[in-house]
Structure 1
């Protein structure tokens, strides 16, 4: 007997997810799939997840409505000192952080340039070198 799929953690038309999806899927070779109920963005490896959990609280609003990403080690300490960021369950032990849209507010209150930079940082740390070169070539045009 097959396991039942995880229930969706977020609606596909959530305005924050719509913007995150646009940013993620604009990157070379990026795809999207659902994993454990959350939209997950990947090349060969996952570079961003929409929605997470806190250790001991899988339903915390601060984490359920968030962007999970892998920061560069040199940026991690500064980010974690900002109250908008948190260490997510499951991903946190591997160095990932979460940016809580719940704490920021409505979609028009989000600094989407900052979000794009976080997504790109995570992408660069996880994508194959050929895709990173393609991204850099786009920027040179």
Structure 2
């Protein structure tokens, strides 16, 4: 079984102009200086392994968590900004994770990257 952080790095760093650096002690991915994904493993003892990603806002966040609470959660600190945590423990649907990370990248990326064809 692939380590979730290793697999997440493959996905995130394949997107244009991304970089990884620590933010608040967590492996975090940025595009043009804006955060779009953060890996968390047992963050503040919550027992979860997740990737935190952007959504279109609090309505989309609420809909995702309500529709699939086993997959999505409201992450500490980032939750009030509409982010969700996507569960990376157990049997992970990597196609879903890849799509959520790419969508988060699109929400953070500058217009010039999106106009150049995006992902």
* Superposition TM-score tier, normalisation by shorter sequence: 0.7 to 0.9
Aligned length: 114
What is the aligned counterpart of 1:79 among 64, 78, 90? Answer: 64
Verify the 8 A CA contact 2:21 2:27 in the aligned structure 1: yes
SS of equivalent to 1:61: coil
What is the aligned counterpart of 1:41 among 29, 38, 54? Answer: 29
Verify the 8 A CA contact 1:47 1:70 in the aligned structure 2: yes
Q: Which sections of structure 1, spanning at least 5 residues, go unmatched?
A: 1-13
In the alignment, the residues of structure 1 paired with residue 74 and residue 25 of structure 2 have an alpha-carbon distance, to the nearest angstrom, of 19
Verify the 8 A CA contact 1:52 1:68 in the aligned structure 2: no
SS of equivalent to 2:28: strand
SS of equivalent to 2:52: strand
1:53 positional shift:
6.9
Tell me the residue number matched to 1:99. 86
Verify the 8 A CA contact 2:72 2:87 in the aligned structure 1: yes
1:77 positional shift:
3.1
Tell me the residue number matched to 2:50. 66
1:35 positional shift:
1.3
Verify the 8 A CA contact 2:52 2:83 in the aligned structure 1: yes
Tell me the residue number matched to 1:11. none
CA RMSD of aligned residues (A): 1.9
Residues 59-86 of structure 1, C-alpha deviations (whole Å, 9 max, x = no match)? 1112xx1100011246433311111211
Verify the 8 A CA contact 2:53 2:85 in the aligned structure 1: yes
1:135 positional shift:
4.2
Return the TM-score normalized by structure 2.
0.85
